[in-house]
Structure 1
Amino acid sequence: MEMQKKIMARGDRLSDLPDSILIHILSMLPDGGKEVVRTGVLSTRWLSLWKSVPVSLDFDFPTTDSENATLDYLASIHRELYYWKSSHKIRRFSVWRLSYKERYAKDVDLWVHFATKLANVEHFELGFRSESHPKYELPQFAYKNVLLRNLALGNCQLNPTGSVNWTSLVSLSIGDVELTEGIMQKVLSGCPNLECLELDDVSGIHHLEISSVKLRELTIQDYFDDLWLVAPNIQKLELSGFCCEIRIRQRDVVSLVTAMLHLYFENNLEKKLSYLKELLHSVAHVENLKLGTYCIECLSILELKGWQFPPSSRKFLELTVAFEQLDFPGICSFLQSSLDLETLVIHWYDNRPRDLLSRYTNEDEQTRRFETHNFNCSFPHLKTVKIINFYGSVLPLVKYLLKHATVLEKFVIVAAFEKTDYESDASPDYVEMAQELLSFPRSSPHASVIFSF
């Protein structure tokens, strides 16, 4: 009896804490959902506290062709939403990978209504499997919401008949859908505070003009139509995947600070090379540039063809490259156009066949070119170099950088790891390679070489 009184006393002291502290404590419970609700049985003081605890509701449909399994999962979502309808703090509501059929439209409408009208969530994600046809069309009532801050839609058709009112939206992602320029402009005009826009496998837009001064980040992935982009206020641009010709002019992206080009090229290589040259001219003014594997391969082809890379003012350069020496001349030639460079990051990440470059040359020929070609250009501002997934094949490039970076302060080498059945180990010849690297001459008296495992 005495112990019970002590426990009750402790419970009373806990209940005397302010709501804000109790809600913070409850938000740290695992499962952040039903476990929180169960605390309501502790006392009348706790009975309604759970309603103010921020929770996230995430539903991911299992990959199945079973109609019964799909219907069961639909029903389970409805039960969950009924369970949570009294909550005041549903931060995030996400439903993904439903193989949509028209007979499910009312079910999905209920989810959208819950997210945009009842729960007033700040982060709403709704995506369907790519084979879904016809696509689910977002209901008109969903275009009026002043609390939504993040919205991601996949395989979801947009067709607002009136104006769009998403005044609090700061992040918008649209994927796997065909749009028109009119719809896109209507959506953008209804998002005056939008900061980040992502278009993933979107088609139908040939001219995209973004005039908002607040929209600073734009990502375009797998765009299969030609597109002319005018976005004078964006600061970060990422183009990735299998893209057709997304054309920009330097004066149309004058505020651009960071450009990420992770493009893949297949057919009509000569046309793609010409397109890449245009892109490199358009982003020559950016401070930060990141190039993916296929772009690096094309740089090497352009170097073989004698093309002079445009001079740039970039200060940060990140290159993602395959495990081959074929690219060394192209990399070095590109570096010669980056004399203001302060930081260089090279990430070796795969060993896929160099199909494009091998049509023009072979490794022996490229090695001879690298050794005999005049790449004796110093880098007067390069202070930091970092190579991730270090392999012995990159030693010639390391030697070149150490020799020509005259003010180098830090050269970081991150070892490549070989996966075994039990663990990941550094390459067995890593120590030997490290010793050889330390023997290379350095033009900067302040250069330190740092090895990381």
Structure 2
Amino acid sequence: MARIEFSANPGHLLKRPRPTPPSDQDDTGNSSVDYISKLPDAIILHIFSFLTTKDAMKTSVLSKQWRYKWTANPHISFSMSFCANRTKFRSFLAFMKAVRLRCTAIKVKSFLFDAPYAPYLASSRQERTDTVGPTLDWWLHFAVKHNIEEVSMILRKDNEYALPQFVFRCTTLVSFHVSCCHISMMVAVKWTSLKRLHIDHAELKDDAMMRILSGCPVLEFFELKRCWGFKHVKIESRGLKELVIDSHRFRGAEILILKISAPHLLKFRLLGDSKRGEFKVDKISSLVEAELNFSIKTDALQAQAQAHAEFVKRLVENLHPISKLVMGSWCLQVLSSTKARGLFLPSLKCRHLTFHVAADHVGALWMAKILESSPHLEKLCLQITCTTTFWVNTR
């Protein structure tokens, strides 16, 4: 019940006024406050880091203050679907040109290019800005000149674009992901700040591999996916924590061996499908985690299963100090083949085990042997996979 008070003038009743709701007016008396226009530039640029360049450009309609904010965006990205038609590709090139003409970024933190490669994007002596727009060389040079930290180049077409030499001397790079590019180095690599390196679908000679590893003194993560041409990965750096070899391509008339030497690694992952070939991994005493989730496709006779089983067993032995092991279904299958059942496995120090078990239970025998050889086991994870083909021709 409301409280009633009598005023000095009899007959007049006064009620205590209710508190008024907060006004939407600002100090100038406007009916509403445009909070989005008052955001500091640092916040706006942080918002842009979660948007593509195309979406950042659309924010120009939010207010007058935002009209040109996107031009200073330090995160530049261009992407287009693989199945785009000619009209969409022309629109894509026009967009790249529009961004180039308006870009005012003082520093470029990231540059992403994810699109099918076309000859129009190849480098040229004279930049064509009338119809085609800037080339990839121009954008990379612009990024390097503005202290780029992260580059991702995914071209999705076989090695037609050659990385320019100045990229290999970019000392501000922290993360570099390159796919389907031709990599040929005429200069010494100076990636003195690089911590993460992904190379996908590229040919690398042993000399190029040596230059890369010697030119990355603070590298922590290194992934080679669908690569070929090199026979040895030798890593002497104590800073590299994780090495991933995914779907290595063995090419040549003879069966090849990829040698891996990395005595100071903490994590090692051998993944994907490979045809023929074999991996030889030197003992890694510092290893903590290992994942052997790969397969080797071969047309050899059944007797080859014994060689594969011994090869997988050697891998496990050389990685045995690990506390966490993931083993794929192919490795379990070859270890459980008839001629490999007598192999002896030494005691393991694993505390965490993950098995990718085939739906037909092939490989269960060696799964049991690994469990028997793991007296310190604390956690076991089983992941059922579709039945895989045992890649041995039994004719």
Return the TM-score normalized by structure 1. 0.67
1:366-386 alpha-carbon deviations (Å, 9 max, x no partner): xxxxxxxxxxxxxxxxxxxxx
Distance 1:123 1:185 in 2: 22
Partner of 2:224: 199
Mark the CA change 1:103 to 1:356 in structure 2 (over 3 Å): closer, same or farther. Answer: closer
* Contiguous gaps of at least 5 residues in structure 2: 1-23, 125-134, 251-255
Distance 1:70 1:17 in 2: 35
Distance 1:116 1:95 in 2: 15
1:233-282 alpha-carbon deviations (Å, 9 max, x no partner): 111111112343121121xx221111111111222333322221211111
Code of the aligned partner of 2:213: L
C-alpha displacement of 1:101: 4.0
Partner of 1:318: 354
Mark the CA change 1:28 to 1:195 in structure 2 (over 3 Å): closer, same or farther. Answer: closer
Partner of 1:342: 378
Alignment of 1:101-116 (within 5 A): 101=119, 104-106=122-124, 107-116=135-144
| Secondary structure of 2:218 counterpart | coil
Pairing 1:188–2:219 present = no
C-alpha displacement of 1:200: 1.0
Pairing 1:292–2:333 present = no
One of 230, 237, 246 as aligned partner of 2:279:
246
Distance 1:345 1:310 in 2: 21
| Secondary structure of 1:238 counterpart | strand
C-alpha displacement of 1:88: 4.0
1:383-420 alpha-carbon deviations (Å, 9 max, x no partner): xxxxxxxxxxxxxxxxxxxxxxxxxxxxxxxxxxxxxx
Distance 1:81 1:292 in 2: 46
Alignment of 1:37-436 (within 5 A): 37-39=60-62, 41-42=64-65, 50=70, 55-63=75-83, 68-69=86-87, 72=90, 75-82=93-100, 85-88=103-106, 90-101=108-119, 104-106=122-124, 107-118=135-146, 120-130=147-157, 132=158, 135-223=160-248, 224=250, 225-243=256-274, 244-250=277-283, 253-267=284-298, 268=300, 269-270=304-305, 271-301=307-337, 305-350=341-386, 352=387, 355=390
1:346-385 alpha-carbon deviations (Å, 9 max, x no partner): 11132x25546997xxxxxxxxxxxxxxxxxxxxxxxxxx
C-alpha displacement of 1:146: 2.2
Instruction: Give the total of aligned pairs.
Output: 346
Contact map agreement 2:332 2:362 (CA 8 A) in 1: no
Distance 2:162 2:73 in 1: 32
Mark the CA change 1:330 to 1:52 in structure 2 (over 3 Å): closer, same or farther. Answer: same
Partner of 2:19: none
- Structure number with the higher helix fraction is 1
Distance 2:202 2:326 in 1: 27
Mark the CA change 1:259 to 1:353 in structure 2 (over 3 Å): closer, same or farther. Answer: closer
Partner of 2:17: none
1:79-134 alpha-carbon deviations (Å, 9 max, x no partner): 2531552134654322234244487334221232233224x43221112234x36x
C-alpha displacement of 1:230: 1.2
| Secondary structure of 2:202 counterpart | strand
Contact map agreement 1:210 1:230 (CA 8 A) in 2: yes
1:201-243 alpha-carbon deviations (Å, 9 max, x no partner): 2112112211111111111112224211111111111111234
Mark the CA change 1:69 to 1:114 in structure 2 (over 3 Å): closer, same or farther. Answer: farther
Mark the CA change 1:26 to 1:335 in structure 2 (over 3 Å): closer, same or farther. Answer: closer
Mark the CA change 1:52 to 1:347 in structure 2 (over 3 Å): closer, same or farther. Answer: same
Contact map agreement 1:172 1:197 (CA 8 A) in 2: yes
Distance 1:295 1:236 in 2: 19
1:132-187 alpha-carbon deviations (Å, 9 max, x no partner): 36x32111121222222111111212222122222221111112221111111112
Mark the CA change 1:239 to 1:16 in structure 2 (over 3 Å): closer, same or farther. Answer: closer
| Secondary structure of 2:293 counterpart | strand
Distance 2:44 2:89 in 1: 38
Distance 1:254 1:80 in 2: 54
Distance 1:241 1:55 in 2: 32
Distance 2:205 2:391 in 1: 35
One of 11, 17, 33 as aligned partner of 2:56:
33
Percent same amino acid at aligned positions?
A: 25
Contact map agreement 1:100 1:129 (CA 8 A) in 2: no
Return the TM-score normalized by structure 2. 0.76
Mark the CA change 1:84 to 1:345 in structure 2 (over 3 Å): closer, same or farther. Answer: farther
Task: Report which of the two structures shows the higher radius of gyration computed on alpha carbons.
Answer: 2
Aligned-residue CA RMSD (Å): 3.3
Distance 2:116 2:167 in 1: 19
Contact map agreement 1:326 1:357 (CA 8 A) in 2: no
| Secondary structure of 1:254 counterpart | coil
Mark the CA change 1:21 to 1:324 in structure 2 (over 3 Å): closer, same or farther. Answer: same
